[in-house]
Amino acid sequence: MQPSYPSFESADGFAPLAAPVRPPEPEKASTGVRVLAVVGGIVALLVGSLLSLGFGLVALLGFGATALLVRARRARLTRRASWIGAVLTVCISFGGLVGWAMTQAPGGAVESMQQSMDEASRQPPPPIVRRLQRLGPPQNPRVQKGVDSVTRSRAFVLWTMVTMLVTMSLFFGLLVGTPAWGCAMLIGYGISGRWPMAPVRVP
């Protein structure tokens, strides 16, 4: 004889769907921890802004601008998007400032760099370079002349300057934007008692 089990079917013959279980929300931090987080985040942000000549506050503005843009699109702000907004704002601001300073150089930035390269080529190479040249095969004057004409051309110098500017801007953006974003997250943790923009957990 087979045991009978209770039936959970409804009147129409279909089993009812279980209600989705919401994950428990994390408990809020204590008041003392929240106060320390806010004070520490503000102090670290101000000190970093002074050391970075105000670019820490620029990263904070990028954080806020990203939040407003995502809210206008009726989307959910994520930690990755806010971090990218902070870093990218610093990169663009730093690159624009350095680019503007280079345009203010007397005679133009490209011409100044070409003159510097010409002056450096007239100077004798360092001793270690001389030793390496002796160990290597003799240089062909025609090939060397062609290489010099390419490396000293305006297009090559301009491309080199743009590459250096982009690399410096990315490095500076990561160096300044990431700590400023972390300070903003710490301040948000102190205000709300939880880490902001926590990922949604699907049960």
Mean pLDDT score of the chain: 80
Number of domain units in the chain: 1
Residue 11 covered by a domain = no
**Residue 40, pLDDT score:** 94
Residue 201 covered by a domain = no
**55, 64, 53, 48: which is closest to 90 by C-alpha?**
55
43-84: per-residue pLDDT in tens? 999 999 999 999 999 999 999 999 999 999 988 999 999 999
Banded model confidence at residue 203, pLDDT cuts 50, 70, 90: low
Range of the structural domain that residue 186 is part of: 31-136+146-192
Residue 63 covered by a domain = yes
Residue 5 covered by a domain = no
**67, 104, 101, 97: which is closest to 82 by C-alpha?**
67
106-163: per-residue pLDDT in tens? 766 667 776 776 666 666 767 776 666 666 666 666 666 666 666 767 787 888 888 9
Residue 198 covered by a domain = no
Torsion of CA 68, 56, 95, 114, to 10 degrees: 180
Residue 96 covered by a domain = yes
Residue 14 covered by a domain = no
